[in-house]
Amino acid sequence: MPNLPSRRDADSRAVPVPAEEAVVDCAVYIDGRRLPGRYTHSDALAEVRSRGEGFVWLGLHEPDEHQMTSVARTFGLHELMVEDAVHAHQRPKLERYDDVLFLVLRTVNYVEHESVTTTNEIVETGEIMIFTGPDFVVSVRHGDHSGLSDVRHRLEQSPGRLALGPASVLHAVADYVVDSYLAVTTLVEPDVDDLEELVFTPSTRIAVEQIYLLKREIVELRRAVVPLATPLQQLTRGQGHPIPKDVRRYFRDVADHHTTVAERIATFDETLSTLLDAAIAKVTVQQNTDMRRISAWVAIAAVPTMIAGIYGMNFDRMPELHWEYGYYLVVGVIVVSTVALFLTFRRNKWL
């Protein structure tokens, strides 16, 4: 039998995919205006540095390690940045490596569904990582819902903002992400309201698992949103980061919106905890009601069972065993007893 190549050997012989395959857009901006033409990331950086002004904005979508290493070599990014950008799954954070800022943002998207009681997913997440240096911005996206083309287009319509440099792009992306948080929480709110109405509607049964599902989605949303507060505060205050004063003012507005989102999520979480307690209490009450109903029917059935059991022992000297009307008397006692018990339980609302 011939020796087959191992998977590791196959991977080692795999042809590296050029970095350009992961590039969504690459542009050179001088005085806030985009230069015409198409550039590779290395040519774009060379153009900016030969002019001594402007900056490059390179957009990447889910690059692999080889592609990101090529970009890192061109822009002088730290190897730890490359590792984070390739593997993703990072918490929101802000780090500085010499004169390069590294901001990680978690993106969220609302998954449309017909009913909160039948869906299995409400919120999906992704990531955006922003590297900013004195003359470049590198944005790395993970996920299909976090496109930045609209952000780039809006910025290109405002040359005055782009003229502020890479920090203006950093603000625009952060503002876009936080605004998406606001939009998602606005869409999630009716789902929470629908569950609340179902839980507190009499005679309506709701699966506790659906509350757990929505609570899990809120937990995922909270993990994506809340940790961003610290990086935004750092960007607002400067705190050793090379952010121009004019741009820091814009970050204050982003931080305010983020606070609003965090408060909404905390409210959702608290509401769902309350709904969970109420739903469990409702289930407990329903179980108690069912148990009382079962107990009542058992008590009613016990009377004829007991009488039939006694007279089924077939002793010769049992009272009224040979009486002509004994059978009718026993049946009458059974009927009267069961009807009396039924009416008693019905009056006490057990049946």
| Residue 16 parent element (H or E) | none
- Kindly report the pTM of this predicted structure: 0.78
Query: With b meaning 16 or more CB within 10 Å and e meaning fewer, what string describes 286-302?
Result: eeeeeeeeeebeeebee
How far is the C-alpha of 308 from the C-alpha of 334, rounded, in Å? 9
Most confident of 63-67, 180-184, 295-299: 180-184
pLDDT of 50 reads: 92
Q: Which residue has the tokens 């204050």?
A: 252
217-227 average pLDDT score = 93
- Whether residue 4 is predicted with pLDDT greater than 50 in this model: the reply is no
The two three-digit tokens of residue 185, written as one number: 């929480």
Helices and strands in the chain, H and E counts:
11, 7
pLDDT at 56 (0 to 100): 94
Tens digit of each residue's pLDDT (9 = 90 or more) over 312-322: 776 666 666 66
Q: Residue range 68-85: average pLDDT? A: 88
Average pLDDT, integer, range 260-269: 94
Taking residues 223-242, what's their average pLDDT? 85
In the chain, % of residues over pLDDT 90 = 39
Q: Give the tokens for residue 139.
A: 């944005």
> In the structure encoding, which two tokens stand for residue 8, read together?
């590791």
What is the per-residue pLDDT for 49? 92
| pLDDT value, residue 6 | 41
Domains of the chain: 13-283 (3.30.460.20), 289-347 (1.20.58)
Q: What is the mean pLDDT of residues 211-235?
A: 91
Residue 245: other Cβ atoms inside 10 A: 7
Place of tokens 């230069």: 35
Instruction: Check pLDDT > 70 for residue 279.
Output: yes
- Specify the 3-state DSSP secondary structure of 61: strand
The strand order across the sheet containing 123-133 reads 33-34, 23-30, 55-61, 136-142, 123-133, 100-110, 93-97
